[in-house]
Chains A and B, each alone.
Chain A
């Protein structure tokens, strides 16, 4: 095996196999007749990379040699914690259930409407909790409302959520008003506003479901930025699957038809988009296909496939089948969000994900 510079290590090696003795003589062999180290080939910075330091794991991408500063990462890893992938899931859930709820409202499916508005509200509250608690200074969360900044997906998302929230809140609270208060004027007013407000929220729901993809892609993180074309479809498919899945879990079979359809289309879109995304990946594939990220990915795929199959075959017939399929879709959706998030984090920890593609790009431009 040649060393990194292509030189045979056996040249001028003082016999005796690998039992090089710890005394001076072997060191001087090199002066008589050994081949010089190639100029500029600093061992300290050249590295050959494969998934697990070359042991065991086969990767689909060939090893790439690159230089780095003592192997240190170039980028900073995200400061976010598990709250953010959790929010990706609950936000998508809130959006999906809002669409189902509005549709159920318009097509006379009261049970589906009720569970979906409550699910959307729970998702919204959980989302707000996750987002605010993940801040470095949570008490300053309202500073997000200081500016409207189209170059910042987080600013756009803040305003999308601000527009989305009241409608969901109104509709959900309307579902929760106790019977004995329903005749009071505030309750009757709310009841009249619930539908238009709910519909407005449902109209904004596509934004809630999709902006999170650009939130992640609009960064320097290779694992997120490189999949920017497919990620919106993965995330909206996932949101639809979870929104419909939620309805399948909690609504009776007689009313869950649209939830099933929505979930099935969403799950199918998520699976296809995810496959396309994986197919087009370059070096970041290694981050997506190793370790805990791969486990999340497999979980996402299998749970979604199982959920999709159940939705098509069982959920229209049996409540248990519907519930199981819905739960599978929800779990699969959550796994998908965590998988994408964690893959991105991994790509910031290893400099190769930054250096190799950029060096290739640069060399292609300036031969």
Chain B
């Protein structure tokens, strides 16, 4: 008998195995003919085996968190290692308004905003209308006939209430909130001795058994099937045990998650009341318009299966302690700040010079580029629960390392409708690549060869491409202040020319020089370090620089660091309303990495895509006599374009403090009134 393959999951294979068996062991011969009775019996047997093996396979898959696919099972397996998946998050916003009570006599002493719906999004937001609500009543005093509700937090979604009566006679009683889409941070649980009682006790949510006593008023939460949540109360040993007839009230918000992010106009839809003689009266007049504080943000969908699979084992491995850098990288997105898109953590000992006892955290939020200071403080406070005593977490602002590519795309004119068509396809693909997770994370690496392949594969007409890569960082400058600047690229610089001009900058103004200056470098003979100098140019494309100051700083080509001695910068290129100097360098390796807290970004707007006709492949010039050669090395201007050219924003040079830029806009010819002459000048021909 042939060896039976027991791992067969396919009906046909199972049937073949059965036929092989019959071939050896039976008096019957007609198993081969589909019309025979025996074939029908084989069909039934094979189908049965097929169903059984499919079920066995599915069951085995769903037993392990790596292979499970059904959310219910993944959540259940994560529960075994103490992981509660993140719930949907309601978008939150703040609003302020006031109520004029002059038409109520006598004027009430307080006004109460009842819990529930407060406002709706004004107009339609993305063709949808959203409601915002609060979890608990807010009461404010009436001062001078005005009741002011300032910066009250409102949450997108509907406030729902579920009531349960605890019954000692019901074994395995479960308190399941029947609605999906609940934000677990916005659940309020109160317990009354019985339904008629007016005395209620608020219960708080807990995740661990630490510090829980037998009478602690706590509840636990777990996700059950269909993205719903079950509330579990204590057993009298860990947490207070409920008694018979205890009446449980659960207020919670079901939201639309991230769909409501960005709503910033609200219409009042709440209920305001005042109490007189133990009777509530509703206020309907004198309510002002709602002023939105911050637009709705923080809304998020429920944690997906893939994310649970990723984070549950890691959270378990970190044992709720932030010890190694990896622990921080796991705990912050999973437990503290779910809006994290990417995170990088490293110990202070890795810095030069080292800063012992500190851990540096750099977070790229999902919305926007930087984390507000308030949230930074919040994260630090929450981290205290997890981090080792004596370790100070520091949250750094994101530092972008931009990549600019200059691509010459050779294409076969017979296969493409136009050069623009090819260029557009390549740019679209590059944009997709620049937005992919390959780049948008800490510790990312720009893979040069992959990039070339992506360009080549963009369209069938592309025959080859020649791409040069440049790195850029934007040095934010403080205007009108002597300051020392240091900026690191985290990648080695390529020394193209020992006579200098290996780095390029955008134009800026310094005190004492009447025209735009640029920064560049001269390498030392050791090819590791070099000195910086400032020069002027008659125009951006000019190749005749005039050096105005030498030795204004140092450059380290190996570590990729540029250090400027104290300098008073008066103006720079303005980006996002902030003055800065763009510094560009050619990397030694075309594979550029985002070191430590550097966040790699492929800057499409700063990149150049040029199409070149491939005359050889197109058949126009088979002998290659007029082939257009493109250099594989970057070349061109000595400087970057842009700077305080015509309309510049300068700081207030007469004032002592100069933290902020003033709004004085002046022409180039009137910007500088120098107080001291330039230290040295000279010109070199290039």
Do A and B interact with each other, yes or no? no
B interface list, Cβ under 8 A from A: none
Residues of A in contact with B (beta carbons under 8 Å apart): none
